[in-house]
Amino acid sequence: MRILLAGASGVFGSVLAPALLDAGHEVVGITRSQGGVRSIEAMGATAVVADVMRRDQLLAAVHGQHFDAVISQLTALKKPPLRNKDMHTTNVLRTVGTENLMAVAKAVGATRFLTQSMIFGYGYGDLGPVPVTENRAFGPSPRKGFAEHGEAMLRNEQIAFSEPGIDGIALRYGLFYGGPATNAYVDLLQAGKLPIVKAGTTSFVHLADAASATVAALERGRGGEAYNIVDDVPVPFSAIVLEIAEDYGTKKPRTLPAWTTKPMPYLHAAVTGRYLMANDKAKRELGWMPAFPSIQEGVRADAKAAGL
């Protein structure tokens, strides 16, 4: 297929674009900068320069071209969000940005539209001891401070599913690690800026596994469906930090009481909540299996590949 990829030069896009190319697809990445053009072309893809928040500019950039699919991996996060306000720009990308990309999908004749969603759309905090499936309610959180995030994630998926003739698919990713995402953890650990709290459990996914799942969804996913893209073994957030510190030989992180993160409500909810996700639907319908069923296997493989 000929794919138009938004977010191609981002942390995940830099892994996804090569995976799409390796699967035999043609990739055209959207970027706002010449630096982004260079990054995209270095991966073997081509680039168009446009701002996804400016619909007219975006439509002009692809005028007269045909694409079989549009994939949105939009995010404005350059570092982990700590407070609810840190999510505002990403929330706007998930609504206005996705609307603009859907307008492009219609204009270029695409018949598939994939969008990045997240497991936090199921809620923030303790989601209970039973693994969460895609049948669980998704959208606005009953917690007032988090409602905007859930509304944006729900609207993002609604846009993806909204157009007759375009098979929309939502990929509800777990927390990313692996490759450039793990490198960010390493940098924070070395700088002594990544303390841990021993609370909560969440579902992670290695970037390589997220990419292979996205390729599988592009090729085999059902229109109108959402898929949890996570590994097999949920773990406390502290577990991945400690694993990276050990395998990469960084400074050992400090341990802080969970209450110390309360002034940073987004971070507090992310690291102290319970997010146990089921990935059975993705395995069954996409024919996908994570190469790294747990963070231990993924982190150790990355460290070994780095010669550590």
Res 195: pLDDT? 87
Res 83: pLDDT? 84
Predicted confidence (pLDDT) at residue 51 exceeds the cutoff of 90: yes
Which residues, in sequence order, are CB contacts of 227 under 8 Å at separation 6+? Answer: 134, 169, 170, 171, 172, 213, 217, 221, 281, 282, 285, 286
Res 18: pLDDT? 96
Q: What is the spatial distance between Cα 61 and Cα 49, in angstroms, rounded to a whole number?
A: 7
Q: Which of 109-123, 132-146, 278-292 has the lowest mean pLDDT?
A: 132-146
Q: What is the pLDDT of residues 126-167, one digit of tens each?
A: 999 999 999 999 987 777 889 999 999 999 999 999 999 999
Place of tokens 């996700």: 277
| pTM of structure | 0.94
User: Which CATH code, of 3.40.190.10, 3.40.50.720, 3.40.50.10330, 3.30.450.40, is assigned to 2-303?
Assistant: 3.40.50.720
Predicted confidence (pLDDT) at residue 266 exceeds the cutoff of 90: no
Q: Which of 232-236, 267-271, 291-295 has the lowest mean pLDDT?
A: 267-271
- Region of residue 64 (left: phi > 0; alpha: psi -120 to 50; beta: else): left
What residue ranges do the domains of the chain occupy?
2-303
Residue 308 near residue 247 (C-beta atoms within 8 A): yes
Bridge partner residues of 30 (DSSP):
6, 48
Q: What is the pLDDT of residues 188-222, one digit of tens each?
A: 999 888 888 888 999 999 999 999 999 999 999 99
Res 194: pLDDT? 86
- Region of residue 114 (left: phi > 0; alpha: psi -120 to 50; beta: else): beta
Predicted confidence (pLDDT) at residue 64 exceeds the cutoff of 90: yes
Residue 199 near residue 272 (C-beta atoms within 8 A): yes
